[in-house]
Amino acid sequence: MLSVVVLISGTGSNLLALLKAIESPLVPVRVLAVGSDSAAPGLAHADLYGIPTFVVEPHRFPDRESWAKRLQETIEGFKPDLVALAGFMKILPPSFIRRFSPNLINIHPSLLPLFPGAHAVRDTLAAGATETGATIHIVDEGVDTGPVIAQKTVAVMPGDDINTLHERIKNQERQLLIDTIIGVAEKRIDLAKV
Ligand code: GAR
């Protein structure tokens, strides 16, 4: 059984898809807890499934290091095998990343290394790209630079705006996230060797 802590910052549609996908007892994945840097609406999905949630807000700490230390300690309390960033929008310091990587994965709405950062979909449209996609990768100390585990391509359609394009990308991301976590649980994916 692979135990996972998921971190989110927003609506948590990727989290919800994961929770639905692992509902069957035949799937060897368990979400131990869901955390956030704010009172994110997506935490309600965890509540619905009876999964513990926690919020560690950066503004309550004197600096990023002490915030991340508390976040790290909170996660460690659950003893997860894997930490999944599913729309977690804060940059984590190297100390946090060294503690969990390579068992620390992130989803990103572009074909990395193209369009890293917090505004990938907006930047894709601004660049006039005709194709983009979704990436799942191991988190390293850079911003969206870690080893790629899997990617899926999504066409940019004429008339797409940030919302329409992001929604089509999210449809692919959700499957990538589920496939990757189940792949790790079933030992088809070895994160130490990506
Ligand atoms: C997802 O598209 C995810 O890739 C993105 O936030 C969205 C969260 O959606 N993450 C990043 O941009 C990280 N740089 P959700 O809250 O509906 O799952």
Q: Where does ligand 1 bind, in terms of residues with CB under 6 Å?
A: 8, 10-14, 42, 86-87, 89, 107-109, 118, 120, 170, 173
Confidence band (pLDDT; 50, 70, 90) for 110? very high
pLDDT value of residue 87 = 98
- The best mutation among 38, 45, 108 to test binding of ligand 1, ranked by most ligand atoms within 8 Å of the C-beta, falls on 108
Q: What is the mean pLDDT of residues 112-131?
A: 98
Q: What is the mean pLDDT of residues 124-130?
A: 98
Confidence band (pLDDT; 50, 70, 90) for 3? very high
Can you give the pTM of this predicted structure? 0.98
pLDDT value of residue 28 = 98
Per DSSP, helices labelled H in the chain are 13-21, 43-48, 64-76, 94-100, 120-126, 162-185
Looking at ligand 1, which atom is closest to the CA of residue 119?
12
DSSP per residue over 70-101, as a string? HHHHHHHTT--SEEEESS--SPPPHHHHHHHT
Angstrom distance (rounded) from CA 49 to CA 187:
26
Torsion of CA 8, 10, 11, 13, to 10 degrees: -40
